[in-house]
Each structure stands twice: as C-alpha cells, then as structure tokens.
Amino acid sequence: MEKKELTNFNVNMSNKNIINSEVIYDDNQVNKEKITDIMKDLENKGNPKSVLQGLQLLAKNDVNEILSPLKECAKEFEQRTGRPMTYSEMRQMFG
C-alpha cells in the first residue's frame, strides 16, 4: 500500500527552531489500533520486568544489551503505526 505523507511544520523564524512538527499518513493503520494501546504494549516489552532485572541489566555494563530492546520496540512501533516514534513517545514509554 502506497502511503501519502503530509508534513506540517510551524517554525519560529526568529531563532530558527522547529516548534511543532506533525507527520500525517492517509491510511487508517493507526486507527485500527489505538496509539496508547501500542505504546503500553511496547512499554511492557521494552522495560525490565522488575527492579532486580533492571539492576542486573545495568550491572552487565553492556550498552548493546540495554539498547537492544528499545531498538526492537522502535521497529515494532514503526511497523504498527506506519511512522517512526517521536522523541516524546520514546521518553513516555522508556523514561
């Protein structure tokens, strides 16, 4: 299925910072599954199941082992929504 992408930007020209950006796709993929349900599911998959598990993960001192679940969740988010997750969505799910 071909996606038509529309991008809207509100730009503050005085300091050239992007204030708000929104990517809209014209398919109904996201409507099939609420974005909040997707985020909650991925939050449960990507985060450690307990404090002990989180501490054990940190004790291994392996960055790849910490980032691997987050990267997998980012890929799944894009597959399920048809767009990459935003920074604020990533922070909301993974802190």
pLDDT at residue 79, as a whole number: 93
Tell me the one-letter amino acid at 48: P
- In DSSP notation, 15-77 reads TTEEEEEEEEESSSHHHHS-HHHHHHHHHHHHS-SSHHHHHHHHHTT-HHHHHHHHHHHHHHH
Residue boundaries of the structural domains of the chain: 5-94
Mean local confidence (pLDDT), 69-94: 92
DSSP result, 58-72:
HHTT-HHHHHHHHHH
pTM of the predicted structure, to 2 decimals: 0.60
Q: What percent of the chain has pLDDT over 70?
A: 65
Mean pLDDT of 45-63: 90
Helix (H, G, I), strand (E, B) or coil at 92: helix
- Per-residue pLDDT reduced to its tens digit, 2-34: 554 444 444 444 444 333 344 444 455 555 568
